[in-house]
């Protein structure tokens, strides 16, 4: 009996996790990435940029002013 109750608890957790993932996916597709998780600045050649960890979009970075410049772009 205890094993059945525990199995039902796990099933309820799985269902709630699936629902959460569905809602997260829906809002992510509807509104896009907000680029909240950015990497440290990278320099490759003569270009310095920061990358969004979630979606991979890049944004130029000015090393002298230590600020981001322009809008996000995909490589």
- How do the domains of the chain map onto residue ranges? 1-32, 33-75
The rounded Cα 61 to chain-centroid distance in angstroms is 20
The arithmetic mean of pLDDT across residues 46-63, rounded, is 94
Give the pLDDT of residue 3.
65
pTM: 0.60
Give the pLDDT of residue 18.
75
Identify which has the larger pLDDT, 33 or 53.
53
Looking at the predicted structure, is the pLDDT value of residue 17 above 80? Answer: no
The arithmetic mean of pLDDT across residues 22-43, rounded, is 85
Give the pLDDT of residue 42.
93
């Amino acid at each position: 009996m205890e094993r059945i109750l525990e199995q039902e608890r796990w099933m309820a957790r799985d269902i709630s996790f699936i629902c959460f993932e569905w809602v997260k996916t829906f809002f992510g597709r509807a509104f896009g990435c907000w680029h909240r998780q950015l990497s440290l600045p990278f320099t490759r050649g003569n270009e310095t940029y920061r990358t969004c960890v979630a979606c991979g979009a890049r944004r130029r970075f000015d090393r002298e002013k230590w600020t981001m410049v322009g809008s996000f772009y995909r490589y």
